[in-house]
Structure 1
Amino acid sequence: MNQESANSNLHTLYPCNHCKETGTCTNGNNDSSCLSCLKKNTVYPWERNKYSQGIICGVCGGLGKTELMTARMNERTKPMLALWGLVVLPLLILFSLIYKSDLSGTVVTLAGTLMGSIITYYFSIKKSQ
């Protein structure tokens, strides 16, 4: 099973209109790369005349196919929120215990339950496909 068919099972890949499915940007003057792709590939302004052709497409990353921005955001939002929660919640517990708040027992209970739920969701064996 190659990478393209494995990726197509997860989400739909569309032809990249920026590079016309070649993977190399030719949208600039005289078939050179456009300014956006030059910046994406960190070609410095003083090198742009020298290295302006054959630059990888900044939209698809050189694959010739790309996915929609909404699909990328849907895949990344939940894990980033979970990671943020697993960083902030222990800090909340630590601060409530250091400052000996009256609500520290409640904070520990709530944060522990939330962290357990996040960990269970991401590491459960029977996740739906």
Structure 2
Amino acid sequence: MPTECKHCEASGTCKNGLDGSACAACHAMHLLKGLASDAPTNGLPCGICKGTGIAELFTEKLQNRIVPFISLFIITVTLALVFYLAYGASQQQSEALTLAGTLVGSVTGYYFGGKGKNT
């Protein structure tokens, strides 16, 4: 659950410097992105929340990035197993294909069935 950015008070614009201008940290971040050094610092987007007004916690970032990659890894390994068994005659082919179908169906059902959208 995203929280409001405390740095810009959820406005998306940094006003923590002198006379309501951007603070030194946000100004330095925009200088690194190509802002001219003599450009005014009023109205610069907040460097903490990137101008959205919502700060995403580190654990939320991990959950939003790691879980899809793990799912993609599971699907890739499962499909590789299916192709390996399809071209090589194996006695456990039917059991492996059952496992593969269950794994792929579970991951697909989780992400496209609506439960994955709540996390």
TM-score normalised by structure 2 residue count: 0.62
Please tell me the root mean square deviation across aligned C-alpha atoms, in Å. 3.3
- 5+ residue gaps, structure 2, are 15-21
- 5+ residue gaps, structure 1, are 1-10
Is the 1:16–1:59 Cα contact (8 Å) retained in structure 2?
Answer: no
Identity, % of aligned positions: 29
Relative contact order (C-alpha < 8 Å, sep 6+): which is higher?
Answer: 2
Q: Which residue number in structure 2 is paired with residue 117 of structure 1?
A: 106
For 1:1-129, what aligned pairs fall within 5 Å after superposition?
A: 11-17=1-7, 19=8, 21-25=10-14, 26-28=22-24, 33-35=27-29, 37-39=30-32, 42-43=33-34, 48-49=36-37, 53=41, 54-98=43-87, 100=88, 102=90, 105=93, 106-124=95-113, 127=115
Letter in 2 for 1:27: C
Runs of 4+ in 1 over 4 A off after TM superposition: 19-22
TM-score normalised by structure 1 residue count: 0.58
Report the alpha carbon displacement of residue 66 of structure 1 after superposing the two structures with TM: 1.0
Letter in 1 for 2:24: G
Aligned residues: 108
**Cα separation, partners in 2 of 1:124 and 1:64, compared to 1, 3 Å:** closer
